[in-house]
Structure 1
């Protein structure tokens, strides 16, 4: 019995030793594999072009990244200097004549190569004729093409279809020209995509067709803006600030750009306007410019009026001051026409506060 127990112990010890050795080997192999994975993860990749990519493929890849994300600032990735190609490129020369900022274009990934590959007569001139037919002024071409040179990548038949869609929605000639001028990215969106966006605004804010067209024409950029940001701003206005559906609809139609403002900024401004200045939701709806103004500017002017005993925003009482006038004009206009004081006194107040 004793020797049998000893043999079992030795056997178990041998198994344990084998198990320990195998475990050590597995750990060693796993460590090597993890090391290889980590090396693979941190190995830098060429974010501009692959070695086997053609210039056209690189341009298409850059086009996708820039065209599909309109709510974020485009990354400034060093490319090549377009100025070096101007002397040998009639297209670049004509772009300069139109007022296009080539330096701005070349800083955005893939756009320099794309613009350099354009033939003015074949790729650019037909699009310019199309825009002129839509009522876009040539004076705006430089800014439009600087902002979105990828417009020349779009098929003319697709552009015409997108304009016809706006006509079917009863956007006037002037409204269409303003939309295309103010937001050159609009024409990059398919009719189905624009229809979904317009449908979102109409349903979310219970807008009539007239109000929807007014909103889209007044601020065309909001229709193609980042949807996640828009939803956050709408939530802030509705849930955190407490505007009723009717008040929210009126506010958005009068100042649609508020939806493009960072929600934290909206909260900060609303808190000061509602609590410190004592304005109701109805008064803010009547003066949406207040929410569009920076908080420190509101604070400076309100506190100066308060010091003078003129911070009176109730229309039923004497010495009434319209809240809208607080954010109008420069400091000279405000001091003379609203505060009824002088600029020297206002500047002294700013230094001592």
Structure 2
């Protein structure tokens, strides 16, 4: 028994020694990691584009695709400022002349290095020519590239296929131009994926072809938005707010951007409009702009009208004020044209409320 106790003590001592050795190795590894160069931290390209759009990440480019002449300067000097390369890169100079915001691009992980590897004649010019053929104005190129420079890695045949798909769905030239300008990520979605998205909205809200095209053209970002968010928004509008199927259909066509607002914010705004302002569902549908406005703005203006005795939203009664006008324009417009008062009185009200 005594011998067994001795063996246990020896075993515990050996384990402690092993544990101490492992800890020493971990400390050594952490010390080495802390002095790694900044260049190692930007090797992976994990481009953040749109919610739930993992397939839009750029594929690694071949080293021969670098279209820059840095002279004695290395092409991969770690930098998070594309402006440092503009004088040495004709590609960046061309992008700047188009109105591209390089600062906006470099803030998104991996995009700065991706843009540095592009050759203007080989990668960029053909894509811009394609956009011009679709009726996109050159003045809009800068905004489109700023939003989605990954467009330059797409195959032109794929882009043409996606345009032909929209034509087959009877999207007009003007509608397609607006869609591509407002949401250039649309061109990176395969036709099957876009078709599933459009089918979801048509089935969920029982939309006609005309209403579906109208909704997609009004808010192009909606079709490529995060589907989980969209489903939560549908549940909130239908179950938590109590809109009927017909009301929901009309609401979405009138103001499709509502689907992209945080559900909690929608509930907060609806609660104030429905309970405090006393508007029924039918009137909210007719004035969908109310749900798209911030709650504090609604509260300020409604309470000011209430103080003046002008918060009367029933069209069957005298002194009727359209709820839509409450959220139109700046404070000067609201005070002069809706409240029929002056800015001094409104400012005093805001300070004392």
TM-score using structure 2 length = 0.84
Q: 1:116 to 1:18 in 2, by over 3 A?
A: same
Q: Is the 8 A contact 2:180 2:186 kept in 1?
A: yes
1:66 counterpart (49, 57, 67):
49
| 1:238 matches 2:259 | no
Which SS does the other structure have where 1:80 is aligned? coil
Contact 1:180/1:186, CA 8 A, preserved across alignment? yes
Instruction: Please give the root-mean-square deviation of Cα atoms over the aligned residues, in Å.
Output: 2.9
| Aligned match of 2:88 | 88
Q: Whole-Å Cα distance in 1 between the matches of residues 146 and 20 of structure 2?
A: 51
Return the alpha-carbon distance in structure 2 between the equivalents of residues 276 and 339 of structure 1.
18
Equivalent residue for 1:226?
A: 226
- Please say if residues 51 and 225 of structure 2, whose CA atoms lie closer than 8 Å, have aligned partners that are also in contact: no
Distance in structure 2 (CA, Å) of the matches to 1:313 and 1:47: 64
Mark the runs of 5 or more structure 1 residues left unpaired by the alignment: 1-10, 72-77
Q: How does 1:282-297 map to 2 (within 5 A)?
A: 282-297=282-297
- Deviation, structure 1 residue 342: 2.1
8 Å Cα contact 2:100-2:142 kept in structure 1: yes
Q: Which residue number corresponds to residue 150 of structure 1?
A: 150
Give the superposition deviation at 1:126.
Answer: 0.9
Q: CA deviation at 1:202?
A: 1.5
> 1:81 deviation in Å?
2.4
The answer on whether the counterparts of 1:79 and 1:107 sit within 8 Å (CA) in structure 2 is: no
| Corresponding residue for residue 281 of structure 2 | 281
Q: 1:68 to 1:350 in 2, by over 3 A?
A: closer
Residues 47-196 of structure 1 aligned to structure 2 (within 5 Å):
58=44, 61-63=45-47, 65-66=48-49, 69=52, 79-196=79-196
Q: CA deviation at 1:49?
A: 6.8
| CA distance, structure 2, for counterparts of residue 132 and residue 153 of structure 1 | 17
Report the alpha carbon displacement of residue 24 of structure 1 after superposing the two structures with TM. 6.9
Q: Determine the C-alpha separation between the residues in 2 that align with 1:98 and 1:323.
A: 42
**Which 10-residue stretch deviates more, 34-43 or 136-145?**
34-43
* TM-score of the superposed pair, with normalisation by structure 1: 0.84
- 1:313 CA displacement: 0.9
Question: Do 1:218 and 1:256's aligned partners in 2 also have CA atoms closer than 8 Å?
Answer: yes
Aligned to 1:346: 346
SS in 1 for 2:171: coil
2-side partners of 1:20 and 1:241: how far apart?
69
Q: Indicate how the Cα distance of structure 1 residues 17 and 101 shifts in structure 2: closer, same or farther if over 3 A, else same.
A: same
Moved more, 101-110 or 279-288: 101-110
How far apart in 1 are the matches of 2:152 and 2:140? 16
The list of structure 1 runs, each at least 4 consecutive aligned residues, that deviate by more than 6 angstroms after superposition, is: 30-49
SS where residue 318 of structure 1 aligns?
coil
After superposition, the C-alpha distances for 1:191-244 in whole angstroms (9 at most, x for unaligned) are 111111112211222212111111110000111112222222222212211112
**Rounded Cα–Cα distance in structure 2 between residues aligned with 1:84 and 1:342:** 51
Aligned-pair CA distance for 1:117: 1.6
Is contact 1:81–1:106 with CA below 8 Å preserved after alignment? yes
Distance 2:287 2:332 in 1: 21
Larger Rg: 1
CA–CA distance in 2 between the matches of 1:38 and 1:276?
61
Cα distance in 1 for partners of 2:27, 2:165 equals: 51
Q: Distance in 1 between matches of 2:35 and 2:201?
A: 41
Contact 2:236 2:263 in 1 (8 A): yes
- Shifted more, 79-88 versus 192-201: the winner is 79-88
Q: CA deviation digits over 1:293-341, x for unaligned, max 9? A: 1111111111111111111111111111111111111112212221122
